[in-house]
Every structure is written in structure tokens, then in C-alpha cells.
């Protein structure tokens, strides 16, 4: 019951946050130089055509009126129509957001799968060859730009070894997983480096704590000490970091989706910003904000699960 | 009547001339990698090259551009004639021509399509056929186009995408109350009479076109075109990934190969690196108004503009930016544009002359000026950096301002820019379009530069209804001479379209106007990788 109230409170808190984000995004896109008609028609646009299109789109109305209309439609679950793609924003997001979510989820899974065991290994072999090798390798991964790692992986595993497709998304769910493996790995490499370093440090701190010594002295088996006492406590800060990094992961997806030719929400957003497609920029930003906020909520819940004192 | 008849025989001759000498193989799929997806497949309401360059595969026009982009050949019309006064065009429709749903194309469809395309309230391309006054059916198999004034470019205009023939009844049966709403629905599953039909479109990912069984043209084997069963467009925005997919067999062709990779792909076995002649020109646009953003503007002085032109080492830019793929310009319009006039490179590099001109103009010590460069565009950034160094020699301090396209277009349209990098590609096989934007001031104040030359304006107006071909050629020669000498640009280079195809792809062509023509493309099954 206590937990349920906590979740409810957090969800209610989300509403003003999202309204604020809606206002900021609305103002930002409308204050950018240029307008949809100019962006669409390009350099050859005649003023009469630009004015006609902007009038048809209702963009010649005062900004507050446009914002109120946007809010009214939002309250009815209507995010408007794409100016460039002539499709409803909701249906565009329904097509594109799951792609980005799947990519992000796969990256997160791969990152955790890489970071957890390697952080343990590095911590337990502190300053020995294994630790130096793991930290060194991840340092390289961390310092390389995402698009470059992506191209390296594509060239080697895609074009040279032909183990994976060179970009694209596939047609079936299995095909999606197969196509998304390399891009997910690309994104996961930098995230796992961050997680690994953080977790290794946390393990080293916890491992020297008195309660761990006590557990050992009590005669608990080493494995139990490690998982029940060391890992559980070391994970708290890493879970926070992980939650915060999901936003970064979504940001990285924008670049990765371009390099790997994946039709996701990140690419949709970038193309819409360039095209000043206001409804799509607003819609995707809002949806991504919801995703990030929900991730934060899940992160907090995970922390509560690890340390129940936090829910009080 | 001055008759210009072209019969089926000539059509067959042209088509067969365009074919490769190899025996064609039918069937199969060609997968083509594009840098961006299409947006709106309506011939009249579209506004971007990503649509324009593929529309001709779905919709047919009365006449077709020739592969060299200079002339016209039969399309849905087999014969045509322009009256002696130049004010009436009579066209005979191809007997038995059908839309992709099997319905016969009628003169009513043509009348409706052309009137929709010419409507000033519809889209942005109506200016290309603004001379059309009225279109009427001419018997059961012909149409008559009445013009407000003689239009020497009217036949070329009838090859342009916006004049595509669409099925009136099917379009009007679409849901929606406005033309745009109907067009939106219609464009989801367009019915045209081009060689292909849209079968499937996953936005941002791929588009599948399958052969139109009712397409009229015959291939070199005497059977109907197209040879291919289907064409798949895959959207691969990243240049390096597009090339990797081509190399690994995921694509049969890839457009917009970066110039830096052209030589490498030329040497690669299994790949044909094609450089199709194009009308694309790259140049710097200079604002020539006395004041820009409230400050005095040195570029208003023609001598300063000439000095910048002489101080620009175009050959060096061509080598560094286009890796030798480009060539110098001899006029503001490309050498592939009809009626291009000009010999030799414009303003060959001459630093001494440039310095002398700057001194003569009273700017011996130079000045500072900003140049708008497209953020993230490597070619533009390289050109900007090179110009910074080159113009630094005559004292001009160039400040590169990196902005996105919409920001730049905004400043451009408002005339609130000093300099910007620009590129242009023709949409019609006629010099009128480029000239109206570059030189004829009433259109967009000569590239929004504020440049105005009364002689050029007068010559352009005359040329627009000039029926004497020799006189029109002279008018264009004079316009180019004036603009090239005093105009508001620094011409940099012209470039072909770099397209890489696997060796087993044949018969594909990208014409100088940019259209990707797949109707005679075929893939040999015995791949020679």
C-alpha cells in the first residue's frame, strides 16, 4: 500500500513536469529561425507560397493562441498531423517509438550483461592484469564517438565477416533483434564502460566495509557474501546511474539510428527539427520525456527494492 | 501550322538507342539505396527532390525528357504540334494507354491533370506552366493546350513531373473535402501510368515498386517495359553505411556517393562508379544591397565581387572538395542546361588582379564578412575554410557561421545575409527556370541578393515568349554575358551525380535533371562480382 501510494504520487508529479516540457519545447521550436513552409519549400520558395502554406497551417496566429490550441488537442489525445509526412503524429510515433525503445532496451541489456561480471572480475582482481585489461579496453570504448564505433562494427561484423546485416531493421521480430544487435552493441559499449567503472568502484568500497568482514567472520560462504551483501549494496549507486544514462542512451540512439539506417523515433525527431515539423518535434519530445520519466520512476522503485528505507 | 510530328518509329528508335548492346534479362529486383525517404508522392503538391526524382517511375507525362536531359521524346502523347503563332499545342494521346488499375487514359484525365497543375493555388510548380490558359479535349484521343502567350519551353514543361497525367475519377473519389486531403489519400497508393506501381511503403525504411503490367513502352526484346519485376528503395542516410551495404550485396545501387570515395569505388571490382552528367552547380551567393542588417555592405561594389571571383582558386577547390570530380563553370548555368553559353573558366584565378581590384574599389585593407555554411555539411565546411584562406590573401576576413538549413533559408529569404553557399539543379530542360531565379529580379530578387539589371529583366521577359529559336539563343547568350560579368555570385564548380552500381546492374540512368529512371534497368543473373 505504501509503495502504491508512492508510485501514484510520482505519476501525479509527472503531469506538471510534462506540461512544463510541452511549453518549453513549444517555445523552442517556434523561436528557432525559419518556419515549416520555408524549410519545406527550400531556397526557391516564393514569399506568396510560404505565406499561403503558413496560413493554411495556422502558423500566422499569435503564439499563445497556437499553444492553447496545442494543449486543447493534447487533452483530447491529439498530437496533430505531421507537416512534412502528412500523417498523424500519434501514428508516426506508434511506428517509430517502439523501434527506439527496442534498441534502447537491447542496449541496456547488453550493457548490464557486459558490465556486471566484468566489474566483479575487475574489482576482485584489483590492479592485476585482468583489471587493467578490462579498464583499458573500456576506456578505449568510452573515448571513441558512437558513430565511429558503429562504423567499425558495421565494417568488421557486417561487411567483412557478414555475421550481421549492414544496417536496416528487418521485417519480423526475430529479424528486428538480429538487425538491432550491432547498433545495440554500439550504444552498449559506452554505457557498459560507465556502469563497469562505477560498479567496480562501489564493490571495492563495500568489500572493505565492516559488515562484510562481519558476514565473512560469521562463516557465510564467499558466494553468499558477494551476492547478498556486496552486490546488493554496491548496486544502489549503479542503478541510479543506469537510470540517468537511459536519457543519454536515447540521445545516442539518434546518431546510431542514422548510421545503421534504423527507422526509429530519434531519426524522426532530427528530420523533423531540420524540417521545422513542429507537431512531430513536440509529439516525439513529449513521448520521449514520458519514457525517460517512467524510467526514472522504475529506477527509484528498483532502489527501493534494494534498500526499502528509501521509500519512507 | 508549324508541325513537329514525332512518330512511334522515332520513339522505338530512341528507346532502342538507349539500350545497352547486351541481351537483356527480365525479372528480378533492384535494391537502390537512397540518402533520404520520399515525403509526398503527389506530382503537383510535392516540394522536394526526394519526391521529384522518383515520381517519373510512378507517373507518366505527355512527353518524356531524353536521357541527355536536353530534348523531349514521346510519352503518353505520340504526336504533338505547335501552331504557327505559338499559342496552341495539339497532342495526340497514345492509343490504348492505361493507368496502372487497367482503366484507359482519356483526354478528360489529361485536361483535369494539366489544369490542376497550372492552378496558381496548387503547389509551387505551377510557374513552369503559367503560360497555360486553357486545356480542352480534342476528339476522343487528343488534347489542345491554349496558351496566354507563345511559350518556347512549353514542350519541355510537359516532361516535368508536375504535369503528370493522373486519373481524375479515382482521385476525386478519395475521401476528404479539399484537393490536398484527397491528394494525401491518393498518394498512399498512387494510380499512375508510369513503369512501376507503389506496392509498399514503410516510411523512413523502404519503398517497394512493382512493375505496372499496363505500361506502354516496349523494351529491346519487343516485350513491354519495365524489365524488372520490382525496385526497392532502401533509406540509408549515412554515406559510409550506404557504401558498405553496396559492397556487402545488400544494395544493387547507391546514390550520392561522397566525392572523396569516388576514386576508391572506381577501382573496386564488382562496382561501376557512374558519374551521370548533371545540371548541379555550386556557388557563393553575395548580397549586393548597399546595406545588410543596417551596416554598409562592401559587396555592393561590383569591383569587390570581381576581386573575390579572381581571388578564388576554383581548380584548387575542385581538387580538394570534389577530389577532381567537379569541373569549372563557364556560365552561371551548368553546361548541361540547354542554351548554356560561355567558353572557358569564369574568372580564372589571378591574385594580382584581385588585389588591384580591391585597391581600386577602396578596400585595399580588406574587410570582414560572414559566410553562412550548412552545419554538418563537410563539403560546405571545406569550401568555407578554403575561401577563408584564399580571400585572406586580399584582406577579406571570412567568418564562417554554421547554421541549419531552415535558419539559413530564413535569413536568405529576408535578404538578411551577406554571403551563403548555394547549390542548384534544374527541374526543366530549359534555361528559363534557373534564369528566373538567378537573374530575373521580380522572381526572388536574383537569389535574394538584391541584384537587378534592367537589360537582363527585359531580355528574360522577351525570351519567355520568343518563338524564334535563334533569337532566343542570342537573348540567353546576352543574359549570361551580363550576369557572369557583374552578377551576385562566385561560381565554384559543376558536378555530376555520383552513383555506384553493382556490375550486374544495367540500363539505369539518372538524367541531368536528377530523375532516377528505372524503366529500362535490368539485373543480369550471372553476376560478375
- For residue B184, the domain's CATH number is 3.40.190.10
Chain A residues whose beta carbon lies within 8 Å of the beta carbon of residue B124: 41, 44-46, 49
Q: For the ranges A134-138, A196-200, A218-222, B306-310, which has the lowest average pLDDT?
A: A218-222
B258 part of a folded domain: no
User: Which CATH number do you get for residue B290?
Assistant: 3.10.105.10
Average pLDDT on A8-28 reads 88
Average pLDDT on B438-463 reads 96
User: Are the C-beta atoms of A199 and A238 separated by less than 8 Å?
Assistant: yes
Considering only residues B255 and A259, tell me which one the structure prediction assigns the higher pLDDT.
Answer: B255
The model's confidence at residue B10, banded by pLDDT at 50, 70 and 90, is very low
B8 part of a folded domain: no
For B119-175, the pLDDT digits (tens) are 988 888 999 999 999 999 999 999 999 999 999 999 999 999 999 999 999 999 999
Overall domain count for chain B: 2
The verdict on B200 touching A (C-beta cutoff 8 Å) is no
Does one domain contain both B91 and B169? yes
Does one domain contain both B380 and B292? yes
Q: What is the pTM of this model?
A: 0.87
Domain encompassing residue B90: 24-235+504-528
- Report the residue from B47, B241, B412 with minimal CB separation from A166: B241
Contacts of B217 (CB under 8 A, 6+ apart): B15, B195, B224, B225, B519
Considering only residues A137 and B300, tell me which one the structure prediction assigns the higher pLDDT.
Answer: B300
Q: Do A33 and B411 touch (CB under 8 A)?
A: yes
Q: Which residue of A has its CA nearest to B445?
A: A46
State ipTM: 0.81
Does one domain contain both B34 and B176? yes
Considering only residues B520 and A124, tell me which one the structure prediction assigns the higher pLDDT.
Answer: B520
Chain A residues whose beta carbon lies within 8 Å of the beta carbon of residue B247: 159
B253 part of a folded domain: no
The CATH superfamily assigned to A98-265 is MetI-like (1.10.3720.10)
Grid coordinates belonging to A276: 521545422
Average pLDDT in chain B: 92
Grid coordinates belonging to B450: 538584391
Does one domain contain both B295 and B218? no
Does one domain contain both B394 and B517? no
B259 part of a folded domain: no
Does one domain contain both B169 and B102? yes
Q: Which residue has the cell 527585359?
A: B458
For B268-277, the pLDDT digits (tens) are 999 999 999 9
Does one domain contain both B369 and B468? yes
B194 part of a folded domain: yes
Does one domain contain both B283 and B205? no
Does one domain contain both B516 and B451? no
B263 part of a folded domain: no
The CA distance from A170 to A6, in Å, is 40
Does one domain contain both B94 and B231? yes
B242 part of a folded domain: no
Chain B residues whose beta carbon lies within 8 Å of the beta carbon of residue A153: none
Q: Is the pLDDT of residue B246 over 90?
A: yes
Taking CA atoms, B92 is separated from A22, B5, B95, B108, in Å, by: 57, 10, 9, 13
For A265-279, the pLDDT digits (tens) are 999 998 899 889 999
Does one domain contain both B227 and B324? no
B3 part of a folded domain: no
Residue (of A258, A261, A272, A267) closest to A84 by Cα position: A272
Mind telling me how many Å the CA of A153 is from chain B's nearest CA?
A: 11
Mind telling me how many Å the CA of B137 is from chain A's nearest CA?
A: 30
Mind telling me how many Å the CA of A93 is from chain B's nearest CA?
A: 12
- The confidence score (pLDDT) of residue B3 equals 39
Does one domain contain both B285 and B210? no
Residue (of B178, B184, B233, B185) closest to B36 by Cα position: B233
Amino acid at each position: 500500500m505504501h509503495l502504491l501510494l508512492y508510485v501514484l504520487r510520482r505519476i501525479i508529479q509527472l503531469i506538471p513536469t510534462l506540461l512544463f516540457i510541452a511549453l518549453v519545447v513549444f517555445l523552442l521550436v517556434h523561436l528557432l529561425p525559419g518556419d515549416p513552409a520555408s524549410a519545406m519549400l527550400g531556397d526557391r520558395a516564393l514569399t506568396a507560397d510560404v505565406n499561403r502554406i503558413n496560413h493554411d497551417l495556422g502558423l500566422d496566429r499569435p503564439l499563445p493562441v497556437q499553444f492553447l490550441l496545442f494543449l486543447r488537442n493534447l487533452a483530447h489525445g491529439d498530437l496533430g498531423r505531421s507537416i512534412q509526412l502528412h500523417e498523424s503524429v500519434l501514428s508516426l510515433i506508434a511506428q517509430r517509438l517502439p523501434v527506439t525503445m527496442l534498441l534502447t532496451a537491447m542496449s541496456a541489456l547488453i550493457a548490464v550483461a557486459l558490465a556486471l561480471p566484468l566489474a566483479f572480475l575487475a574489482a576482485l582482481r584489483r590492479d592485476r592484469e585482468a583489471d587493467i585489461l578490462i579498464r583499458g579496453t573500456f576506456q578505449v570504448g568510452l573515448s571513441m564517438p558512437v558513430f565511429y564505433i558503429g562504423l567499425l562494427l558495421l565494417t568488421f561484423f557486417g561487411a567483412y565477416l557478414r555475421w550481421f546485416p549492414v544496417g536496416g531493421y528487418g521485417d519480423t521480430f526475430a529479424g528486428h533483434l538480429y538487425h538491432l544487435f550491432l547498433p545495440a552493441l554500439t550504444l552498449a559499449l559506452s554505457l557498459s564502460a560507465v556502469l563497469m567503472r562505477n560498479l567496480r568502484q562501489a564493490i571495492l568500497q563495500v568489500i572493505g566495509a565492516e559488515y562484510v568482514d562481519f558476514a565473512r567472520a560469521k562463516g557465510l560462504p564467499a558466494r553468499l557474501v558477494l551476492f547478498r551483501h556486496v552486490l546488493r549494496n554496491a548496486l544502489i549507486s549503479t542503478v541510479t546511474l543506469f537510470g540517468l544514462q537511459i536519457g543519454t542512451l536515447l540521445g545516442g540512439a539518434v546518431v546510431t539510428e542514422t548510421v545503421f539506417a534504423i527507422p526509429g523515433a530519434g531519426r524522426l525527431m532530427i528530420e523533423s527539427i531540420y524540417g521545422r515539423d513542429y507537431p512531430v518535434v513536440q509529439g516525439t519530445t513529449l513521448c520521449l520525456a514520458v519514457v525517460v520519466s517512467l524510467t526514472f520512476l522504475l529506477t527509484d522503485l528498483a532502489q527501493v527494492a534494494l534498500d526499502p528505507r528509501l521509500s519512507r | 501550322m508549324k508541325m513537329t510530328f514525332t512518330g512511334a518509329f522515332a520513339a522505338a528508335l530512341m528507346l532502342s538507342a538507349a539500350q545497352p548492346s547486351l541481351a537483356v534479362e527480365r525479372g528480378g529486383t533492384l535494391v537502390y539505396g537512397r540518402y533520404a525517404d520520399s515525403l509526398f508522392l503527389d506530382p503537383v503538391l510535392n516540394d522536394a527532390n526526394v519526391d521529384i526524382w522518383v515520381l517519373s517511375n510512378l507517373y507518366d507525362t505527355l512527353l518524356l525528357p531524353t536521357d541527355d536531359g536536353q530534348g523531349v521524346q514521346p510519352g503518353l502523347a505520340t504526336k504533338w504540334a505547335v501552331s504557327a503563332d505559338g499559342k496552341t499545342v495539339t497532342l495526340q494521346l497514345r492509343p490504348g494507354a492505361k493507368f496502372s488499375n487497367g482503366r484507359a487514359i482519356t483526354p478528360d484525365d489529361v485536361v483535369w491533370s494539366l489544369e490542376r497543375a497550372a492552378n496558381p493555388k496548387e503547389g509551387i510548380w505551377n510557374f513552369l506552366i503559367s503560360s497555360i490558359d486553357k486545356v480542352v479535349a480534342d476528339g476522343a484521343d487528343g488534347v489542345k493546350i491554349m496558351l496566354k502567350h507563345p511559350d518556347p519551353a512549353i514542350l519541355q514543361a510537359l516532361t516535368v513531373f508536375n504535369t503528370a497525367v493522373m486519373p481524375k475519377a479515382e482521385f476525386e473519389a478519395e475521401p476528404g473535402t479539399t484537393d490536398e486531403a484527397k491528394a494525401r489519400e491518393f498518394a498512399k497508393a498512387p494510380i499512375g501510368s508510369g513503369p512501376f506501381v507503389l506496392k509498399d511503403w514503410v516510411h523512413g525504411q523502404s519503398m517497394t515498386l512493382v512493375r505496372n503490367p499496363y505500361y506502354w513502352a516496349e523494351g529491346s526484346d519487343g516485350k513491354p517495359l519495365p524489365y524488372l519485376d520490382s525496385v526497392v528503395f532502401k533509406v540509408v542516410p549515412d554515406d559510409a553505411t550506404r557504401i558498405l551495404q553496396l559492397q556487402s550485396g545488400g544494395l544493387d545501387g547507391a546514390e550520392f556517393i561522397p566525392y572523396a570515395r569516388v576514386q576508391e569505388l572506381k577501382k573496386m571490382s564488382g562496382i561501376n562508379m557512374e558519374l551521370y552528367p548533371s545540371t548541379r552547380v555550386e556557388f557563393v551567393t553575395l548580397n549586393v544591397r548597399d546595406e545588410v542588417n543596417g551596416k554598409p555592405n562592401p559587396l555592393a561594389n561590383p569591383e569587390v565581387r570581381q576581386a573575390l571571383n579572381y581571388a578564388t582558386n576554383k581548380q584548387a577547390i575542385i581538387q580538394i572538395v570534389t577530389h577532381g570530380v567537379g569541373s569549372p563553370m563557364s556560365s552561371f548555368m551548368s553546361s548541361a542546361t540547354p542554351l548554356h553559353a560561355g567558353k572557358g573558366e569564369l574568372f580564372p584565378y589571378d591574385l594580382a588582379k584581385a588585389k588591384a581590384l580591391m585597391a581600386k574599389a577602396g578596400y585595399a585593407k580588406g574587410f570582414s564578412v560572414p559566410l553562412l555554411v550548412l552545419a554538418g555539411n563537410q563539403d560546405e565546411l571545406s569550401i568555407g575554410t578554403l575561401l577563408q584562406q584564399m580571400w585572406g590573401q586580399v584582406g577579406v576576413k571570412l567568418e564562417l557561421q554554421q547554421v541549419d538549413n531552415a535558419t539559413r533559408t530564413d535569413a536568405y529569404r529576408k535578404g538578411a545575409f551577406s554571403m551563403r553557399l548555394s547549390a542548384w539543379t534544374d527541374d526543366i530542360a530549359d534555361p528559363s527556370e534557373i534564369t528566373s531565379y538567378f537573374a530575373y529580379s521580380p522572381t526572388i530578387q536574383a537569389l535574394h541578393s538584391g541584384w537587378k539589371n534592367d537589360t537582363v529583366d527585359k531580355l528574360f521577359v522577351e525570351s519567355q515568349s520568343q518563338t524564334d529559336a535563334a533569337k532566343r539563343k542570342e537573348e540567353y547568350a546576352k543574359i549570361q554575358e551580363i550576369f557572369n560579368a557583374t552578377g551576385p555570385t562566385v561560381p565554384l564548380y559543376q558536378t555530376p551525380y555520383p552513383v555506384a552500381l553493382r556490375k550486374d546492374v544495367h540500363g539505369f540512368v539518372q538524367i541531368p535533371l536528377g530523375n532516377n529512371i528505372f524503366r529500362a534497368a535490368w539485373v543480369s543473373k550471372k553476376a560478375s562480382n
